[in-house]
Structure 1
Amino acid sequence: MKANTVYKRAHNRCLALLRQRELGKPLGSEAELAQSLAVSRTTVRAVLAALQSSGILAPDGAKRCLLRHPTAEEFFPEPQTEAVADLVERKFLNWVLVGDCRPGQSINASELARQFGTSTTAIREYLTHFRHYGLLERRPNSRWIFKGITRDFAAEIYEIREIFELRSARRFAELPPEALPWTELAEIERQHHALLGEIEARYSDFSQLDERLHRLIHGASCNRFIQDFYQLIAMIFHYHYQWNKADEKERNTVAIHEHLAYIAALRSRDWRAIDSTCRAHLRTARATLLRSIEVGPLG
């Protein structure tokens, strides 16, 4: 199951990369593609074989020229490409937000496993990760207590987030032009503009877009500790501060413009612009989080 998920995710990422390529242009070597897709060469070979079979790539030895661009129907549905750990993370964070999980609330791992359609072991592994940071406290009988976030905790986590994100942003700007993350960044930028055009009705959709952008940037670090730390970032900055719904549309509109400036800076590869736009956006996120902690949950 795990290998199948990895294959499908690599297949989709490869299709997204090919959408940006000119017809007749060689795809490159297996080693280069494996690096771009962050998978093994064995997985790359399986993906290439499927693309050649469907007529997207020509079976032209090592060159494998692009014969046609892939269609939307040739992508695997997103749920099929999601790893178990990612599925648990997404569903848990959504549960925290939509379910209005508050400090002191009890969490039952077995109940969450049934609700999420996954194993209790996967839930426990995920919850244990946050236990190390003091956000959760384990109790007998598969129960946990959500302890919440204090101002001091928020200040500490912001300081580390700034260090890690600036480092990741620098690595992102150093990626070669043909690297897949640039294609993903372009799609995220497009979705920012689309959301801005429908902000009156869709302003609450911003949190998922926010998470996608920052996760993409952190991924460029190629550092397992930075990427693992991002789970904590998602819990705090992308969900917790939304308990305060006051002026949510205005806050999200500001954040969208900050994101677009940040994306433009990444494209420019100008480190001063990247540093400036990144710090400005993170300061806004920190202020929003601290205000939410002070005011408390509002409907």
Structure 2
Amino acid sequence: MARTDTRFREAYNDILTFCEALGIDASIPSETRLAEKVGVSRTVIRRCLAQMQDNGLISWEGRDKHLLRHPVKADRMSLPEAAQDRRDLEQRFLDWVLRFDVPANTPLSVAELSRTFDVPQHDFKEFLAGLSRFGLVSRRPQGGWMLLGFTKDFAIELSDFRSVLELNAIAHVVEAPVDHPVWAKLAELRHDHLALRAAIDTDFHAFSKLDERFHRALNSVVSNRFIAEFQKVISLIFHYHYMWDKTEEKDRNAAAIDEHLAIIDALEARDAEAARQAAQRHLRTSKTTLLSSLRHHDLG
């Protein structure tokens, strides 16, 4: 598959993801804005929009574009295996970092890591350049790259920034129209939380994935490319920490389920203040748990 076709398919799927958070008949942003959001040319965007129109996803007359239906799994385009590997490189690299295989301030060997992750050196350098905006890696003055590491200060800063993003998302959810897909997601999440709480004695380890789905649903309401980028690293780190410290894991996860349900209750009641307070309580708990996990690994 040609690289240009791969970029088209990736862009098309990215636009579908963006449209999942829109309401039916919502306006689709301009070609320029979509190009900036997805990181491709307007020519590629126009090709994506034409395909979406052909598939009955949008109406398109001149500059007016509206969402006719929400995308489903069958609408997504398949990607070549190599493209899928590049897409999950960030997750695999953070997995490696968060296993504490190397200390902070360790030089990174691009040649060695490109072999480890089975990625060409040029692509891995581009990946590190993109990851540097999160503060986990940086360029060395003498050339090459340095792993700055996942430290207590990094965890605190990330927790504080996460609070800003998620409280903003909570405010957006409260104001979401009744036909917004977030309400169906929250109803499904309520059912799954109650089911896991009933089976907490044996299935408590399943909370990490449920927690990820819950926070992804909240943040899906905010259409902001900057939030989407930072949400990747925030999501990975906050959900990986459930794997680090297994002490009192069942009780901790049971408490978190109740905190999630309190947020869902307040959101469905359209009680903005109660939702904000419930979210603040949960975020404080999550921050404390994260820092406790670091101390468990002698990083706190």
What TM bracket, shorter-length normalisation?
Answer: 0.5 to 0.7
In the alignment, what sits opposite 1:2? 7
In the alignment, what sits opposite 2:103? 103
CA distance in 2: counterparts of 1:246 and 1:157, whole angstroms: 23
In the alignment, what sits opposite 2:149? 147
Question: Is 1:34 paired with 2:28?
Answer: yes
**1:29-178 pair list within 5 angstroms:** 29=25, 32=26, 34=28, 43=48, 45-50=50-55, 74=74, 76=76, 86-97=87-98, 99-104=99-104, 107-132=108-133, 134-138=135-139, 144-150=146-152, 152-178=153-179
**1:190-229 pair list within 5 angstroms:** 190-229=191-230
1:176 Cα deviation (Å)? Answer: 1.6
* One-letter amino acid of the structure 1 residue matched with residue 151 of structure 2: I
1:182 Cα deviation (Å)? Answer: 3.2
- CA RMSD, Structure 1 to Structure 2 (Å): 4.3
Q: Taking structure 1 as reference, are residues 157 and 143 closer, same or farther at Cα in structure 2, changes over 3 Å only?
A: closer
* One-letter amino acid of the structure 2 residue matched with residue 4 of structure 1: R
CA distance in 1: counterparts of 2:93 and 2:232, whole angstroms: 11
For the Cα contact (< 8 Å) 2:193–2:261, is it kept in 1?
Answer: yes
CA distance in 2: counterparts of 1:198 and 1:141, whole angstroms: 52
Unpaired stretches in structure 2, ≥5 consecutive residues = 1-5, 35-44, 58-64
For the Cα contact (< 8 Å) 1:2–1:83, is it kept in 2?
Answer: no
1:284 Cα deviation (Å)? Answer: 0.5
1:246 Cα deviation (Å)? Answer: 1.6
Give the structure-1-normalised TM-score: 0.68
1:228-280 Cα deviation digits (max 9, x unpaired): 33234235422246422222232222212212221222222211111111001
For the Cα contact (< 8 Å) 2:135–2:148, is it kept in 1?
Answer: no
1:116 Cα deviation (Å)? Answer: 4.4
CA distance in 1: counterparts of 2:66 and 2:230, whole angstroms: 39
Question: Is 1:251 paired with 2:245?
Answer: no
1:180-236 Cα deviation digits (max 9, x unpaired): 333344444444344444444543333333233323323433333333332342354
Q: Taking structure 1 as reference, are residues 172 and 294 closer, same or farther at Cα in structure 2, changes over 3 Å only?
A: same
Q: Taking structure 1 as reference, are residues 193 and 100 closer, same or farther at Cα in structure 2, changes over 3 Å only?
A: farther
For the Cα contact (< 8 Å) 1:164–1:226, is it kept in 2?
Answer: yes
Q: Taking structure 1 as reference, are residues 199 and 51 closer, same or farther at Cα in structure 2, changes over 3 Å only?
A: farther
CA distance in 1: counterparts of 2:161 and 2:261, whole angstroms: 23
CA distance in 1: counterparts of 2:13 and 2:175, whole angstroms: 27
For the Cα contact (< 8 Å) 2:27–2:66, is it kept in 1?
Answer: no
In the alignment, what sits opposite 2:62? none
In the alignment, what sits opposite 1:58? none
In the alignment, what sits opposite 1:281? 282
1:69-113 Cα deviation digits (max 9, x unpaired): 9997x465998899777522333333344x444533665444544
In the alignment, what sits opposite 2:234? 233
For the Cα contact (< 8 Å) 2:24–2:67, is it kept in 1?
Answer: yes
1:3 Cα deviation (Å)? Answer: 2.2
Greater Cα shift, 205-214 or 81-90: 81-90
Unpaired stretches in structure 1, ≥5 consecutive residues = 18-26, 53-61
Q: Taking structure 1 as reference, are residues 171 and 84 closer, same or farther at Cα in structure 2, changes over 3 Å only?
A: farther
In the alignment, what sits opposite 2:41? none
How many residues align? The count is 270
Give the structure-2-normalised TM-score: 0.68
Q: Taking structure 1 as reference, are residues 78 and 33 closer, same or farther at Cα in structure 2, changes over 3 Å only?
A: farther
CA distance in 1: counterparts of 2:136 and 2:103, whole angstroms: 9
